[in-house]
Structure 1
Amino acid sequence: MAVKIRLKRLGKVRVPQYRIVVVDSRKKRDGRVLEEIGKYHPKEDPSYIDVVSERAQYWLGVGAQPTEAVAAILKITGDWQKFKGEPGAEGTLRHAEPKRDKLEIFNEALKEAQSEPRGDATTKKAAKKSAEAAAPEANVTPAAETPEGATEQAEAAETTTDAERPDADKQA
């Protein structure tokens, strides 16, 4: 039986994904296979190539003939050089960088958001409230700078405002 190592196409219309398979040469492209020895996804960057080297070496050793595309893939992984006994058996396969953990990305964004100063208020009401909150703080003077008479006047003013508040609640 004439055995070939070739690609079996899977995937959607514009997103091809292939399986590297060992198949009888008389079978159709996506027909019944003897063994699946790898995967190839050409649309990813870099292309995803996964070959079970031990099984590829076995099938090459018993006489399976790779197609041109599979031979190129085997050269990238270094399996063809290993089979022929040529230098460069480590191959030239590139690996994609591992993706950053989502938790790490979130924590980094959180730190950036906390370290940045807050901007001005976005609405007029919020701007007015922040201005009112800042105004009383500006009027407060330290106790060491205020004369004793002024302190007594301030306390008297506070007691009068406390007395006026219940009346204001009744009117509302």
Structure 2
Amino acid sequence: MTSSNRRRGRFGTEPPSTGTAAQDVEPDQESVARAIALRLLTSSARSRGQLAEALARKGVPDDVADRVLDRFTEVGLIDDAEYARMLVRTRHAERGLSRRAIAVELRRRGIDDETAGDALEQVDSDDEDEAARRLVRRKLASTSGLDAPTRSRRTLAALGRKGYPPGLVARLMREELAQQGAEGADELDGFDPGP
């Protein structure tokens, strides 16, 4: 019996031309990569780096991932510069994050330093100071019943988590407490924010 006869045997040709087995063709890797990337982009905007990382976790070979991501970039489905600008706007306006904290997040999301730097230009030092001032006011108001060292520590910690330097926070606390009156201004006497 020849190999072609063996393949046909009593079951017909392999693979069968009809039925479920004929339809269960294994998809090519590019189709799988496209489907994964599209599914991720449907749920939220992502950077090229995030998509590449997700494709690698799913076992998509690097060359296939690069081809798919290149095509998505070419047709505008991936735009790291716009993604970075959007992230800077939302993180600063909605969460009050400092430029430093946003830069760390951009890097973590796979945005290169040059693209991140361009996007961060949307937030200047005046914007950053104003955002920090709003956060200081809010934190001082929410801790008004506490003793001075606790208020200072909590305010410094809250703004530190958002990436603001201790010196800026201490200055803004002094200014805000001075506006509240002499009693509030005395709370920071001897307060040392550290380095």
The structure with the larger Rg is: 1
Q: Normalising TM by the smaller chain, what interval?
A: under 0.3
Which structure: greater strand fraction? 1
RCO higher in structure (CA 8 A, sep ≥6): 2
More helix per residue: 2
TM-score, normalised relative to structure 1: 0.25
